[in-house]
Structure 1
Amino acid sequence: MQEGKAFIFSAPSGSGKTTIVKHLLKYNSDLSFSISACTRSKRPSEVNGRDYYFMSPAEFRARIEEKAFIEWEEVYEGKYYGTLKSEIERIWQQGKHVVFDVDVLGGINLKKYFGSRALAVFVRVPSVEKLKERLASRNTESEESLEQRIAKAEEELQYEQYFDVTLVNDHLKDTLEQAQHFYEEFVQKGELTSSK
């Protein structure tokens, strides 16, 4: 069995990382998505074990005590998100590589854990102005929450240096091709010859 690798995609909100991850999953049958654990309420369309592993806060805290997580975060008071070690083992036992769609700090923690087995990709748009345009065009944000997201994005951009490679998502078609190239090269060689 080949040794499984990990692909970590992190980005400020609205940069397009979820679109990139979905594209890679669609075109690479040897890649599997890491399902996160969380304590938020399940939405009607969501399925436990497909969208998230839904847990109560008490259950989540018990798993923390057991050291069952690679990384976890209390995003808001009582609202936990994390990556279970058992989830990664499940994927690697299937002979597949794992891909993560996580926030910036989660990405840094995953890279620390996996070391050279992981490629950590920081996705960003060309400018904060462009990011603001994208978030505003979704029409899902109030002016206040838009300002909060932009402030958080500006803070998260400071962490770009901790990632192996940066993917600037300006033209989606080019970005998807670049992401696929990164994936293929890292699977084959375990490193990138054309990074940052």
Structure 2
Amino acid sequence: MGGSLFIVSAPSGTGKTTLLRRVMQEVGHLVFSISHTTRSPRRGEVDGRDYYFVDTDRFSAMIQDNAFLEWAKVHDNYYGTAISPLSSRLEQDNDVILDIDVQGAALVRAAGTFPAVSIFVAPPDLDELEKRLRGRGSDDEETISRRLTNARQEMAQRHDYEYLIVNDRLDDAVSMLCGIIFAERARCRRGIDGSPLSGFRT
């Protein structure tokens, strides 16, 4: 039967990382899809836990072998979602969160390799998003402006997703995302813990 794939996209500054961290703590048999990248590990990052770190030649060979569900070049580094580890996680009855931008999400949907449930996480509005970006105190004015421009473009594609969660109150957003995951498990005749329901399989 296998698990379900959940695509989650959101503009930068929406609070997606915090939201997903909370949901991962509350929902069992839920794992992240680990991407391949050619960038160097940052302090504290572990190969196979945070990313699969590979060199450019290896990444290029994987592209030629059609090993990626989707891939992109971002700021001179390559990032991609490999089919094999994703398939393995799903076959182990784990639901998988694929944290990906709108362009990558569109590629995954178009490929149709894995049925996926798509979820867009939005800020209450762009004014609030700007407040959050400035409140982080980590970006210069040019970066904030670029992120807001990208957010407007990404928000325009929210209608391409099956679900929309507005991250106004974090607790409410966590409840909604957990609810979507549990509803999909029920639809697929699986229990709240993700295990198949004996005698009720489709």
Using structure 2 for the length normalisation, give the TM-score.
0.88
Distance 1:67 1:28 in 2: 32
Taking the TM superposition and a 5 Å limit, the aligned residue runs for 1:2-81 are 2-77=1-76, 79-81=77-79
* CA 27–44 in structure 1, closer or farther in 2 if over 3 Å, else same: same
Cα displacement (A) at 1:115: 7.3
Does the CA contact (< 8 Å) of 1:8 and 1:120 recur in 2?
yes
SS at match of 1:45: coil
SS at match of 2:137: coil
Does the CA contact (< 8 Å) of 2:2 and 2:91 recur in 1?
no
Counterpart pick for 2:184 among 183, 186, 191:
186
Alignment-mate amino acid for residue 65 of structure 1: Q
Partner of 1:132: 130
Cα displacement (A) at 1:32: 1.2
Q: Does 1:164 align with 2:162?
A: yes
Taking the TM superposition and a 5 Å limit, the aligned residue runs for 1:103-122 are 103-114=101-112, 117-122=115-120
- Structure 2: runs of 5+ lacking an equivalent: 189-202
SS at match of 1:149: helix
SS at match of 2:80: strand
Q: Give RMSD over aligned pairs.
A: 1.5
SS at match of 2:24: helix
Distance 1:112 1:30 in 2: 26
Partner of 2:195: none
Moved more, 38-47 or 14-23: 14-23
Structure 1 residue runs of 4+, over 4 Å off? none
Partner of 2:196: none
Distance 1:98 1:82 in 2: 15
SS at match of 1:51: coil
Alignment-mate amino acid for residue 23 of structure 2: L
Cα displacement (A) at 1:14: 0.9
Deviation per CA, 1:47-94, whole angstroms, max 9, x where unpaired?
A: 1100000111221111000101001011233x1111011111221232
SS at match of 1:9: strand
Moved more, 161-170 or 18-27: 18-27
Distance 1:62 1:32 in 2: 27
Distance 1:101 1:111 in 2: 14
Distance 1:24 1:102 in 2: 17
* CA 22–166 in structure 1, closer or farther in 2 if over 3 Å, else same: same
Distance 2:186 2:17 in 1: 24
Distance 2:108 2:165 in 1: 18
Equivalenced residue count is 188
Larger Rg: 2
Distance 2:34 2:145 in 1: 29
Distance 2:109 2:128 in 1: 28
